[in-house]
Structure 1
């Protein structure tokens, strides 16, 4: 599409470059344009549509960033992100087309279910909401079922859902929903985890190994890209924020003689804690091939990290 080019169509180029642009048209109420672009013959009209939809994606990104910042501010000022079983957040005029994406990002960040509500600016219509559970294992649909007396309507599945609620019921719903989630935590002994596929030293990562990993493609929800882990990793250079809105992170990591670039999308809040970490790290990561101006190199996408525990003497 308009502002990007790919030399090879892969699951990553579709998932992270093409699909978000097409998805943005739907989130901003212009899904027919995305359908037209996918079915039209190549030509001037197709080029105009691609440019316009690319612009919609920029608008979507701005709206999403605005809602996410406001939601994070609300968490810090009004809730206890450590002890609350779940988070139910809401704001007037938060764009309904992006609240699901924000709920997903925050559910991953805080490792607990998150519901984001968009309240009507005039205060006359019911609020609409979207929820995600991240990788917690909580069944969102069952939790919503336990609160259905508070809702106008709801739907979804174990990992995601949508709802409509009267503003007068939000506080009561928040309490009931957190209790329903807390019961699942207790009854099922749910604990957020990252499934590590193998421990792999960074020095083993090269294009040959990556070609072997790529034979397992296509990667997606049913076949995720392998998550590896490394110990004794240090910062070769300080972590930095990147991107137009500085919401992503880039860092050069070192393990032994191997230095490699790592990126973490949507994780700019890791920047200061990483730089303040005095000891070696344990990292969970996905290795990927980065291509820039025809040159291919291996880099890693950080999934999570922690300071490495010191073994007892």
Structure 2
């Protein structure tokens, strides 16, 4: 048995709908199944495959757009100084770049400002607004922020500056006193699509100002939208798809420089490259300090300056990785070595000096490792404050649970799955204790087990190069339109081997009734010792095309595996104990011996071995290692009944095998008895080798026959001399205990030691089935 650490929830698509999609859209069953799990109607599916320009809405549908355009055009006419006020993440940097490009094209006297995460915090800042006023700024346009900046915007108005807010973050009950607010959800339900990123809102303003779709800005919008993890549905989907097309052919110096710095090919740019390579680099600069160089990089007009900017982004990203890795290691050490923290249902870790710009990433990593709501705090000892970020799991509404602790949490904000906060350092332990207690009322064991949602069950017959290539029509994948997770159920392993310099990866051939498929699992080399041939597996992962020397083959990229079947691992005849024992999960296994001499043989390598005789311990592990054979087959049957093993490792060490010696025939016994009867006394020790040659039987067999005769009373032994008992009663050879034990030993060896793998598996299978029906 192989159990996943996650609960699998497999969605079964409606077969009739799948067929309808195939017939009407002329697509493969693979593509149809994905769509069937995402949409309700044929038209929705068609809109995903065939992108139409009408998915890009008129910017004037946004409340305040007309007034914003009029005010900006007035500023252009008057030659007023305009300030674009952005944010320090990738969305804010791209938003700033979009409006900066637009206003410069329109001839504006424009500058930009981005607050520093550490000195100014998030959003509108009074100090920066006062500095703007001193510089003669007359119009401020916020991008990707502003909706919560009530007091700084009020001050800007008092100073005589006009303010246009463009934002997409959650609005509060009170809106800022800006001249104009452009927000896709303010007022609620007015704009057809409420999930634009900050850069998406900025793009709508640019569209309105240009009077036509600004095609040259799609690259920025795609980058910011993907990096900000907003849903890739509706208008966002259109924007990102167009942007990706543009990025793959773009002549912008920053695109070429970023590809070079990231080690990616420009023509291969997709949502994953932006999400894993471009976005983190742009985010890193604002996490560690001043984000303005990020805007300057995106505004680069030549390759030389773009290359310098990309180099800086790379350096900051590497620095960010080092911070994250270091803090994560320290946090894990805290958790593992402090029972107050590790036993809490909500992990709260804190330390002085942790970089507050990256602790949100650390919190996410800890949630991945422990699957508990997690808060990571950086302590400022001079101020006596702890500032940090939290990430949650399904079932624990982080914002609401934090809200129950307002008395010790003066500043916090966020949503169900993520939050930021500031509190007094002396209240850290109190916060942990309270949140743990709150979690006991809402987090069950089931909720504390991560769930893997699988939306596409497939057969091997569906997996072709053409079908996988067709999946490109469904891109981009992301939040709200997730990358599909495929499952292939009840497949067999045709072959498998470890690959890689350190053999930490695995390569397999999967097989079912419909075909054969290659599979590879990166960093899953350990599965080689956990998968036994003959079991049916269910495998989760992704589909890809493996191209080698011009030939294309479909390939399954393995991410998870499980089987409910018990497994047999055959280590019979393996001489090197140190080699095979390393393949067994020692902490989860019970090592079992039926003979004392076996324990003595293995004890130098295996410190803990259980001796099983008549009584069998009920507390055996689900994985059992059978080091030798019992004396009776009943003992093995009883062991299986009590242990109900998920895995059996068959070693069956037998130093004195009787199987090939066999059982002497009745004729052999009769000849030997007659030989002894014709001699009043016979010195066996002295003449056993001559006797062995005389009968053509080995020495052990002669000793065995002698012992049988002695147990039946047919002979007596005195002073090493054998003599026949003339008055012995007639008895069957099978009455002798020694005869019975040898018979049983030969039968056991035949069944367990010298049977084929299939025969051995079948024997255990039959015992397991008998138990399940009893």
- The TM-score range, normalised by the shorter chain, is 0.7 to 0.9
Distance (Å, rounded) in 2 between the aligned partners of 1:251 and 1:81: 36
Structure 2 residue 451 is the aligned partner of structure 1 residue 193 = yes
Distance (Å, rounded) in 2 between the aligned partners of 1:90 and 1:128: 9
Alignment partner, residue 56 of structure 1: 316
Alignment partner, residue 420 of structure 2: 162
Residue segments in structure 1 that go unaligned for 5+ positions in a row: 243-248
> What displacement does 1:48 show?
0.4
Distance (Å, rounded) in 1 between the aligned partners of 2:292 and 2:365: 27
> What displacement does 1:73 show?
2.0
Q: Residue 407 of structure 2 aligns to a residue in which SS?
A: helix
Distance (Å, rounded) in 2 between the aligned partners of 1:96 and 1:291: 43
Query: Residues 203 and 258 of structure 1 are in contact (CA less than 8 Å); yes or no, is this contact kept in structure 2?
Result: no
Alignment partner, residue 254 of structure 2: none
Q: 1:240 to 1:127 in 2, by over 3 A?
A: farther
Q: Residue 117 of structure 1 aligns to a residue in which SS?
A: strand
Q: 1:196 to 1:169 in 2, by over 3 A?
A: same
Q: 1:208 to 1:240 in 2, by over 3 A?
A: same
Structure 2 residue 386 is the aligned partner of structure 1 residue 133 = no
Normalising by structure 1, report the TM-score.
0.80
Q: Residue 443 of structure 2 aligns to a residue in which SS?
A: helix
Alignment partner, residue 564 of structure 2: 309
Determine which of 463, 487, 507 is the counterpart of 1:252.
507
Alignment partner, residue 330 of structure 2: 70
Q: Residue 348 of structure 2 aligns to a residue in which SS?
A: strand
Distance (Å, rounded) in 2 between the aligned partners of 1:203 and 1:91: 54
Query: Residues 203 and 255 of structure 1 are in contact (CA less than 8 Å); yes or no, is this contact kept in structure 2?
Result: no
Q: 1:194 to 1:137 in 2, by over 3 A?
A: farther
Q: Residue 354 of structure 2 aligns to a residue in which SS?
A: coil
Query: Is the strand fraction higher in 1 or 2?
Result: 1
Q: 1:75 to 1:29 in 2, by over 3 A?
A: same
Q: 1:67 to 1:207 in 2, by over 3 A?
A: farther
> What displacement does 1:123 show?
5.3
Q: Residue 356 of structure 2 aligns to a residue in which SS?
A: coil
> What displacement does 1:155 show?
0.6
Alignment partner, residue 277 of structure 1: 530
Query: Residues 119 and 128 of structure 1 are in contact (CA less than 8 Å); yes or no, is this contact kept in structure 2?
Result: yes
Q: Residue 89 of structure 1 aligns to a residue in which SS?
A: strand
Q: Residue 285 of structure 1 aligns to a residue in which SS?
A: strand
Structure 2 residue 490 is the aligned partner of structure 1 residue 227 = no
Q: Residue 105 of structure 1 aligns to a residue in which SS?
A: helix
Distance (Å, rounded) in 2 between the aligned partners of 1:104 and 1:293: 40
Structure 2 residue 362 is the aligned partner of structure 1 residue 98 = no
> What displacement does 1:88 show?
1.3
Residues 187-219 of structure 1: CA deviation (Å, up to 9, x unaligned): x97863221102235675443222222222111
> What displacement does 1:278 show?
4.3
Query: Residues 290 and 299 of structure 1 are in contact (CA less than 8 Å); yes or no, is this contact kept in structure 2?
Result: yes
Q: 1:26 to 1:44 in 2, by over 3 A?
A: same
Q: Residue 119 of structure 1 aligns to a residue in which SS?
A: strand
Residues 70-102 of structure 1: CA deviation (Å, up to 9, x unaligned): 222222222489864221122232221211112
Alignment partner, residue 283 of structure 2: 23
Distance (Å, rounded) in 1 between the aligned partners of 2:557 and 2:525: 15
Normalising by structure 2, report the TM-score.
0.35
Distance (Å, rounded) in 2 between the aligned partners of 1:95 and 1:278: 43
Number of aligned pairs?
297
Q: 1:89 to 1:301 in 2, by over 3 A?
A: farther
Alignment partner, residue 437 of structure 2: 179
> What displacement does 1:108 show?
2.5
> What displacement does 1:228 show?
1.4
Query: Residues 517 and 556 of structure 2 are in contact (CA less than 8 Å); yes or no, is this contact kept in structure 1?
Result: no
Query: Residues 37 and 49 of structure 1 are in contact (CA less than 8 Å); yes or no, is this contact kept in structure 2?
Result: yes
Distance (Å, rounded) in 2 between the aligned partners of 1:5 and 1:294: 21
Residues 251-281 of structure 1: CA deviation (Å, up to 9, x unaligned): 4344234332334xxxx7x775x45524465
Query: Residues 297 and 306 of structure 2 are in contact (CA less than 8 Å); yes or no, is this contact kept in structure 1?
Result: yes
Q: 1:89 to 1:251 in 2, by over 3 A?
A: farther
Q: 1:73 to 1:90 in 2, by over 3 A?
A: same
Q: 1:37 to 1:196 in 2, by over 3 A?
A: same
> What displacement does 1:224 show?
0.6
Structure 2 residue 264 is the aligned partner of structure 1 residue 11 = no
Structure 2 residue 517 is the aligned partner of structure 1 residue 262 = no
Distance (Å, rounded) in 2 between the aligned partners of 1:81 and 1:75: 6
Q: 1:36 to 1:203 in 2, by over 3 A?
A: farther
> What displacement does 1:160 show?
0.6
Distance (Å, rounded) in 2 between the aligned partners of 1:22 and 1:42: 19
Distance (Å, rounded) in 1 between the aligned partners of 2:289 and 2:343: 37
Query: Residues 64 and 101 of structure 1 are in contact (CA less than 8 Å); yes or no, is this contact kept in structure 2?
Result: yes
Distance (Å, rounded) in 2 between the aligned partners of 1:190 and 1:168: 29
Q: Residue 430 of structure 2 aligns to a residue in which SS?
A: helix
Q: 1:47 to 1:133 in 2, by over 3 A?
A: same
Residue segments in structure 2 that go unaligned for 5+ positions in a row: 1-257, 567-767, 770-774
Determine which of 466, 472, 495 is the counterpart of 1:214.
472
